[in-house]
Structures are given as structure tokens and as C-alpha cells.
Amino acid sequence: MLTMQQLISTFGPKLAEFINPITGRIHASYNIAGAKSGRFTSSRPNLQQLPSTKAPDFRKAIVAAPGHVLVGGDWSQIELRAAAWISGDPNLTAVFREGRDLHDETAAAISGVPVDQVSKAQRAAAKAVNFGSIYGIGPRSLAENAFDAYGIEMAEQEARGALERFFQRYPVLQRWMRQHADMCQARGYVEIGMGRVVEAKWEEGGKLTFQQCCNLPVQGAAADAMLRVIALVFKRLRGIRGGLVASVHDELLLEVHEDDAEKAQQILGETMIEAFEATFPGAPTQKLVDLHIGRTWKDVK
């Protein structure tokens, strides 16, 4: 109950305070490379924190203007795809090349059930394992994150076993993580793409953590892909009545005239694939982009 009250407080009256009295709309600020990884940050208000898992109905508050619709494009599991490409893990790459569902496969491996019998709760727990694994998360933190992000209760021992089974399936990824962390910590900096670095001397205690060494290259590459697609989409939407209105993590949101929606959706999908291919040459693109059209932000998720 407390969590829901906090959500209502943050994304209810406080969110309404940011409505522009002239336009009647919210105009959030986006800060390019606001995070160390090169990812965007958002402020006044932070629309990136608008809950999508625990309380997805909050996104119903984001509505297209009359006569317009929202077009959403979301890269599917781009961090995991980036980790597969950076590490060169053949097993993880094969999952995406063959169009399989990594979350279902991890859930099946953890739970010992066939892939087609995986439950929603098991799949949600597998999401926490998959994303946590590539960022070097430990068992205790995984258990905490599974509950905080997905509402899944997981004992620390269960989390440890889940991480072990994940890396049994993707040993090349695990080897890259260890070797890369050793290299970064020895030389005192981690490269995060496009010439950007994070140096140990900038960090608390003058040291890079194992998690940073694993996380920053993946997030940095995903940030590069997002910058590419924004630049390309902006150019290609000329002639379309409307344009980009938000960028949240791996998702782009357009607001366009309803008569231009299908064309805008096609442009967005093709451009997201092109930007991904430019960032991760040779990486598989099967089932890469999820595209939807709707009146509210929830409709396009």
C-alpha cells in the first residue's frame, strides 16, 4: 500500500504540476549523456521513472492530441543483444538469431519446466536474472532487484542458483566479463564506446567495480544506438505531421497525425533496425523491434 501511495504522490498531483499553462501539456527535459554510460536522463518531470511494470496504468495519462496518435518503437532486449555482440558468446547470439525468447528459456532452465509451460511469474523472475547477470549482479542484489522491479520473491540461495544456471548456458559471456573487468581495473579505466571512458580516479575510493566494468560498455553501446536512431528518425519524419516526443531507455515515442501513423510506424521500425545494425555490425535482428500505435502511452507498450 505504501508503494502505491508513493507512486500516486509522485505521478499524480506532482506530475500535474509540470503541465504547461499555455500548451496544456508536459514538456520534460532530456539530458544527452546525462548518465556515465552515455544514456539519457530525464527531468522536470522524470518520465523515465513513470512506472511501466508495477503500475502500467499510469501511462494512460500520456495521451495524444486530438486527431493524433502515439507510435511506439521498443528495441527488444537490446542490452542482452549488446552483451552477446560485445562478448561474442555464440550461445547467446544463437538465441537472437533463431528468434527464440531468452526470458522463457531462462525461466524454463531455472524452473525445470518445458518452455511452453513457463508462467508469467517465472518469466518475470527470469527477466531479473537475465538483465542482472550481464551487469555482474550478486545473489543478494538479484533477490532484492527481483522484488523491487518485478514483485518477485526470490531467496538469496535461489538467486545464486539462477545465476549459476544462466552462466552455465553462456560461459563465453561470463569469461568475457571476468577478463574485461580484470583488464579495466588493471589499467584504471573502462571504455564505453565512441571514445568515452570512465576512469577509476573519478570513482569513490579511486576504484572501478566489477559491476561497472560489465555494465558500462553494454549501456554505452545501447546509448550510441539510441543517439543514431534519434538523428535518423528526425530527418526521415519530414513530411509527416508530428514527430518525436519522448525517448525512454530503449523506446522511442512519436506523436503523429492519425492519417500518417502507418507511414510513421514503418519509418520508425526500419530506422531502429538500421541504427542497431550500424552500432552492432553482424548482430542478428530477428524480432528486434516492437511497434505499436495507440491513443495513450499504455496502448503502445
DSSP state letters, 168-213: HH-HHHHHHHHHHHHHHHHHTEEEEETTEEEEGGGSGGG---HHHH
Other C-beta atoms lying within 10 Å of the C-beta of residue 21:
5
Asked if pLDDT for residue 299 goes beyond 80, the answer is yes
Average pLDDT, the chain: 91
Give the position of cell 511506439: 72
204: cell is 569513490
**Domain co-membership, 151 together with 203:** yes
How many domains is the chain built from? Answer: 2
Cell 576504484, residue located:
207
Distance CA 157, CA 142 (A): 10
Distances (CA, A) of 75 to 112, 211, 233: 29, 23, 14
Q: Cα(260)–Cα(242) distance, rounded to whole angstroms?
A: 9
Partners of 290 in beta bridges: 74
For residue 90, name the pLDDT band (cuts at 50, 70, 90).
very high
On whether both 203 and 89 belong to a single domain, the answer is yes
**For residue range 11-38, what is the model confidence (pLDDT) as tens digits?**
777 788 888 999 989 898 888 878 888 8
CATH classification at residue 179: 1.10.150.20
Give pLDDT, residue 4. 67
List, for residues 51-86, the tens digit of each pLDDT value. Answer: 766 677 778 888 999 999 999 999 999 999 999 999
- 257 φ, ψ (degrees, to nearest 5): -60, 140
User: For residue 248, what is the domain's CATH number?
Assistant: 3.30.70.370
In Å, how far are 8, 50, 95, 98, 226 from 249, measured between CA atoms?
Answer: 22, 12, 22, 25, 9
Least confident span in 137-141, 192-196, 213-217, 234-238: 192-196
Final residue of a domain: which of 173, 208, 243? Answer: 208
Q: Residues 165, 240: one domain? A: no
Regarding whether 138 and 24 lie in a shared domain, the answer is no
User: How confident is the model at residue 2, as a pLDDT?
Assistant: 42
Which contiguous run of DSSP H or E holds residue 266?
A: helix 261-279
Do residue 108 and residue 202 come from a single domain? yes
Note whether 280 and 272 are within 8 A (CB).
Answer: no
Query: Please, what's the largest Cα pairwise distance for the chain?
Result: 57
State which residues form the domain around 32.
2-78+224-300
Cis peptide before 56 (omega within 30 of 0): no
Distance CA 46, CA 107 (A): 32
**Residue 218 counted as domain residue:** no
Q: Indicate whether 25 and 71 sit together in one domain.
A: yes
- Calpha distance 91→172 (Å, rounded): 8
